[in-house]
Amino acid sequence: MTVIVKSNSSEEKVKTRFFESDIVNKCNELDIMRKSKEYKQIEKLSTGKETMLLDIFYQYLLGNGEVFNPFELKANIDTMQLEYQRQVNGEWIPDDTMKPVGNLSVMYELQDQLWSHTRKDSRGNFLDSFSRTISTALGQKNKARKKKADQMEGTSSVTDAEIRHDMRRSQINSESALRMKEMHMYLEALHLELTGTCYLPPESKAIQAKINAEQAESRMAKADAELEKMMEGLGNKPTKEEVNKLREDI
């Protein structure tokens, strides 16, 4: 779909890095690319191998195997030979480590993305894409549970179709969150490969974000069977306690 954006004749890069027209042109290029025969062939071949495509792109950013020594080339005062050196605690030490040519820019990019995965709002809730999507899925699951409870008590005219739609929305967002989690894990692993250490944000611990999200996943999985049983009408007529339980947020 071709993108047409009305803008002022005198464009200025004030709030973004690129001119608006450049972004629109790139968007149109992407549209053409996605319709190409080559794109559709690659898409078909990569089914189930999406992480491989992600890694291929990051390896491209890193330089596709090209390496160099990023440190300073200085004369060793003892041997009077040139050697690569880096400064540690004010002292110059030899270091012949070779790095990917795109190492610096990729590291900055990883730090930006991994830091965003651990941002919190004013209430202490994590704002990364995985946690927010899981939270939305939980909300949709809770809505279905409460609708079912009202329906079973006869206090609502809501239909099973409406409840199943909420359940389907929850399922779709849960699956989407798991794909996002896979990408997050890839970025964490790439950071470990490039630095030898797991990423830790400056203000909070990334592990806590994972714990919170995993707890949400666990609560939702536990509630799935319970709600499905109610929807299918299996077993005896639910007790008042069982109905009220559906109204409790998971």
Judgement on whether residues 120 and 229 belong to the same structural domain of the protein: yes
Per-residue confidence (pLDDT) for residue 14, from 0 to 100: 53
CA neighbor of 144 nearest in space, from 245, 227, 25: 227
Judgement on whether residues 72 and 124 belong to the same structural domain of the protein: no
Per-residue confidence (pLDDT) for residue 153, from 0 to 100: 87
Per-residue confidence (pLDDT) for residue 203, from 0 to 100: 62
At CA 168, angle to CA 34 and CA 140, rounded to 5? 110
**Is 5 domain-assigned?**
no
Judgement on whether residues 81 and 111 belong to the same structural domain of the protein: no
Judgement on whether residues 119 and 82 belong to the same structural domain of the protein: no
**Is 168 domain-assigned?**
yes
Domain end position, chosen among 100, 115, 142: 100
Judgement on whether residues 122 and 153 belong to the same structural domain of the protein: yes
Distance CA 106, CA 58 (A): 8
Per-residue confidence (pLDDT) for residue 9, from 0 to 100: 47
Q: Do residues 152 and 158 touch, judged by C-beta distance below 8 A? A: no
Judgement on whether residues 132 and 212 belong to the same structural domain of the protein: yes
**Is 61 domain-assigned?**
no
Judgement on whether residues 129 and 194 belong to the same structural domain of the protein: yes
Per-residue confidence (pLDDT) for residue 225, from 0 to 100: 65
**Is 3 domain-assigned?**
no
- Sign (positive or negative) of CA dihedral 104, 108, 111, 114: negative
Judgement on whether residues 134 and 198 belong to the same structural domain of the protein: yes
**Is 216 domain-assigned?**
yes
Q: Do residues 186 and 54 touch, judged by C-beta distance below 8 A? A: yes
CA neighbor of 192 nearest in space, from 115, 249, 107, 76: 107
Judgement on whether residues 117 and 91 belong to the same structural domain of the protein: no
Rama region for 124: left / alpha / beta (φ>0; ψ in -120 to 50; rest) = left
Question: Could you tell me the residue range of the domain that residue 38 belongs to?
Answer: 20-48
Q: What share of the chain is helix, strand, coil (3-state, %, to 5)?
A: 60, 10, 30
**Is 165 domain-assigned?**
yes
**Is 56 domain-assigned?**
no
Judgement on whether residues 159 and 193 belong to the same structural domain of the protein: yes
Judgement on whether residues 184 and 214 belong to the same structural domain of the protein: yes
Distance CA 40, CA 117 (A): 31
**Is 9 domain-assigned?**
no
Specify the pTM: 0.73
Amino acid at 44: K
pLDDT, one tens digit for every residue, the chain (250 residues): 655 555 554 555 556 778 888 999 999 999 999 999 999 999 999 999 999 999 999 999 999 999 999 999 998 888 888 999 999 999 999 999 999 999 999 999 999 999 888 787 888 777 888 988 998 999 999 999 999 999 988 888 999 999 999 999 999 999 999 999 999 999 999 999 999 999 888 765 445 555 555 666 666 666 666 666 666 655 456 667 766 776 676 6
Number of domains the chain contains? 3
Judgement on whether residues 94 and 112 belong to the same structural domain of the protein: no
- Sign (positive or negative) of CA dihedral 158, 161, 164, 168: negative
